[in-house]
Structure 1
C-alpha cells in the first residue's frame, strides 16, 4: 500500500499504473482474440459445445502458470520481450504507445475475423514506439532494436506455421497408418476423447507463451520506473538480471497475467473460430488431435528456446498440415494467402500506429 501511495503521488507512477491496467486489458483481449487457436477444432468437430470449450481452454491457460513457475522454473519469453529494444530508449510513454497500438490492431482484426498474431502486434508496437522516441533506428551509437532478440521472432513468423504444418502432416500420416485396420466408428469415438487431451496441451502452450508477453511489457515498465524514478538499488546493480528481480518482487504480475488471459479465453472469439475451424479446411476429430498436438509441441519447443511465437500462426500451419494429407486442394489457399498478408502486415502496421500514438501523447503532455 505504501508503494501504491508513492506511485499515485507522481505523474510517472500514475503512468505506470495506467500501463499495468492497459497491459492486463491487452492480456484479456489476447485471450478472447486467440481463444479460437485452442478451441476451433474441438468446437467444429462437436466434441464440446462452445461454452464448454472456452472453459476447458481457460482452465489450462491458467494452469500454464504453475508449469512455468514450478516445472520450467523461469519466464524466458517474458524476459525476451522486455529486452527486445535497447533499455536506453524505453520510457513509460514508449510502453504506453506500444500497448495502445497493439490493442487497436487486435480489436480491428478480431472485428474482421482475421486470426492475426497478438504476439507480433505487441512486439511491433513496442519497437515502433521505441524508434519514434529515438528518432531513428540508432540512438547514441547503439541499435534501438536488439536484433539478437528480435530476428528469431521475425523468422518464426514463417518458421512457426511451417514447423506446425510439417509436424501435423507426419502426425496425421502416422495416426492413419496405425489405425488403418481399425473400425472407423470406434476410432472416431476415441479421437473425440483424445481431442480433450490435445486441446488441453495446446491451451497450456498458449497460456505459457502469450501470458508471458504481457509480463515482459509490464516488467519493462516496472524496471524503468525503479531505475529512473525511485532509483531502487536492486535494479541498479551492474550485470544484475533485472527481470529476475522484477519477478521476485512483483510476484503478483505473472499470476495476474495468467488469470487475465484465462478470463479472456472464456469470452471466446467466434468469428475467428469459424475461420480457423472450417474456412481453412474441414477438420475431423483425428485431424483435430494431430493439429493440436503438432501446435502444442511447436509451442513447447519455442518456449524452451525463449522465442515468442504466434500461437495463431502455429495452429494455422498445423491445420494446413492435416489438410494437405487429404490433398493439396483440400486447403482453401485463398483464405490462407489472406491470412499470410495479415501476418506480414501485423508488425509494420502496429509499429506505425505506435509511432503515431507516441507522437500524439508527447505533443499533448
Structure 2
C-alpha cells in the first residue's frame, strides 16, 4: 500500500494522501446521507432500535462493498471521455479530483443539513460532468468530445427511470400485500399499533420482513454506492501515482497472457467479419505501418493498435519490469482497443453468439486495467460503513412523516424496502449507478398514493427541486473549481 508514494515528490505525495482522504470523506458522508434512507422505515416503524439499526446497516453496507464487484466503479470512471482518461497528467489529475470531490461534499452536506433526501449519485455524476465540460472549454474541443456522451446518457436514463420504477412497483407491491393479508395488523401505523394493541413493535413476521428488507437495502446500497468510491480512488491513483496503478502490477503470467490472447482473438474476429466491421475498423492495415508515440484512439487504427500491443507484450510475464511510460502505453492501447470493440459490438448484423464472444474478449482484455487493490475496497467499505452509523435522524423523519399526508404503515414500509432493495440490486448487477435516496423516496410516495393517503406536496416539491438542481449546481461548482485550479497550475 505505501509503495504508492514511491518516486513521488513531497508535494505530489501530500496531494495524493489528501486526495485519498477526500474520497474517503465523501464515502463517509455518503454513508450517513444515503443510508439514512435504508434504515428510515425500519426505525420509523419501530421494527429495530435506532442505534442497533444503524450499526447493522453499517455492517451490511461494509459487506455490500466487499462483495459488490467493480461494474459500477468503472461505469463512473468511464464517464470521463477516453482521451481525458488516457492523457490526464499528475497535476491535472490532482485538480480534477479536488474539484469534483469538493463540489460533491459541499452539496451532500448542505442537503443533509436541511433534511432533504438528495442523491449522492446525482451529486457525483454532476461533479464529473462539470470537470469534463470545463476541460473541454479549456482545451478548445467540442463539448460532444469533451464528455463521454453515450455513457452520460446511459447513466442519466438509469437515474431517471429507477425512481419511476420504484414508485410504480412499490404501489403494486402494497396493493398485493393488501389483497394477500386482509388482517388489520400489517396495515396499521406504529401509532395505531400502540394505541389499539398496546404494543410498541410490529407483529413478529412483519418485523422480520421489515428488518430483512432494510438490511437488503443496506447491502445493495453498499454494493452500488461503495463502487462509486472505489472508482473515485482508482481515478486518484491512476492520475497521481500512475507508475503503480495504470496497470495491475500483481497480475501474473496467466493474466498477462490472457490479455495478449484476447487482443489476438479480437484481431481474428475482425478479419473473419471484415464486411460487417469495415465501417469502423480498417482490417487491411499496411504491414509496415507504425503508430506515432502520441497517437489518439481511432477505430480505423484498431488492427495497428492490436499489432503494437501484441508485439510489445511478446514474451512478457508481468508488468513490473516495465517503466512508467511503457505501462502507460500498454494501458492506452488496451483502452483504445476495448473502446473500438465496444463500438463494434453495437453494429448491426452480429448474432447473439458473436456479441457474447466480443463481451468475453473485452472482459479478458481489460482484466488488468479495470481492477482495484484489496486495500482500496476495504478502505471504502470501512468509510461507508462507519458513516452509516451517524446522522440518520434528519432523513428518517422526512421519509417517515413528511412524504405522505398520513403516517407510514408497516405494509407500506415493507413494500417500499422490498422494491428499493430489488431495484438497486439489479442495477448493481448490471453495472448501472442509481440513487438509493430517490428509489426509496419514490417507493414511499408510491405506497402513499396506493394507500390513498395523499402526498405532502411541499416535501415532494423539495425533493423534486433537489433532483432538478443537483446536476446544474454540481456541474457549475465542480466545473468552476476545475477551471480556476487549472488557471493557477
What is the TM-score with the length of structure 2 in the denominator?
0.68
Paired residue secondary structure (1:317): helix
Q: Superposition pairs for residues 76-95 of structure 1, below 5 Å? A: 76-89=71-84, 90=88, 91-92=92-93, 93-95=95-97
Name 1:258's counterpart in structure 2.
381
The one-character-per-residue Cα deviations of 1:231-283 (angstroms, maximum 9, x if unpaired) are: 26445311257975366562211121111101000113311111112110221
Are 2:65 and 2:377, in contact at CA under 8 Å, matched by a contact in 1? yes
1:96 and 2:98 equivalent?
Answer: yes
Distance 1:141-1:341 versus aligned 2 partners, 3 A rule? closer
C-alpha distance in structure 2 between counterparts of 1:136 and 1:172, whole Å? 51
Name 2:63's counterpart in structure 1.
63
Name 1:218's counterpart in structure 2.
233
Name 1:166's counterpart in structure 2.
168
- Indicate which of 121, 135, 138 corresponds to 1:133: 135
1:82 is displaced (CA, Å) by 0.5
C-alpha distance in structure 1 between counterparts of 2:164 and 2:442, whole Å? 6
Provide runs of 4+ in structure 1 moved above 6 Å. none
C-alpha distance in structure 2 between counterparts of 1:295 and 1:120, whole Å? 17
Q: Superposition pairs for residues 273-288 of structure 1, below 5 Å? A: 273-281=396-404, 282-288=407-413
What is the TM-score with the length of structure 1 in the denominator?
0.90
Q: Superposition pairs for residues 238-257 of structure 1, below 5 Å? A: 238-239=333-334, 244-245=367-368, 248=371, 250-257=373-380
Distance 1:351-1:183 versus aligned 2 partners, 3 A rule? closer
Q: Superposition pairs for residues 104-253 of structure 1, below 5 Å? A: 104-135=106-137, 139=141, 143-180=145-182, 188-227=203-242, 231=324, 233-237=326-330, 238-239=333-334, 244-245=367-368, 248=371, 250-253=373-376
Distance 1:168-1:2 versus aligned 2 partners, 3 A rule? closer
Distance 1:98-1:2 versus aligned 2 partners, 3 A rule? closer
Structure 1 residue runs without a partner (length 5+): 69-73
Aligned pairs, number: 359
Are 1:223 and 1:235, in contact at CA under 8 Å, matched by a contact in 2? no
1:158 is displaced (CA, Å) by 2.6
1:288 is displaced (CA, Å) by 1.0
1:45 is displaced (CA, Å) by 0.7
C-alpha distance in structure 1 between counterparts of 2:117 and 2:145, whole Å? 31
1:148 is displaced (CA, Å) by 1.9
C-alpha distance in structure 1 between counterparts of 2:5 and 2:185, whole Å? 67
Structure 2 residue runs without a partner (length 5+): 187-196, 245-322, 339-364
1:337 is displaced (CA, Å) by 1.8
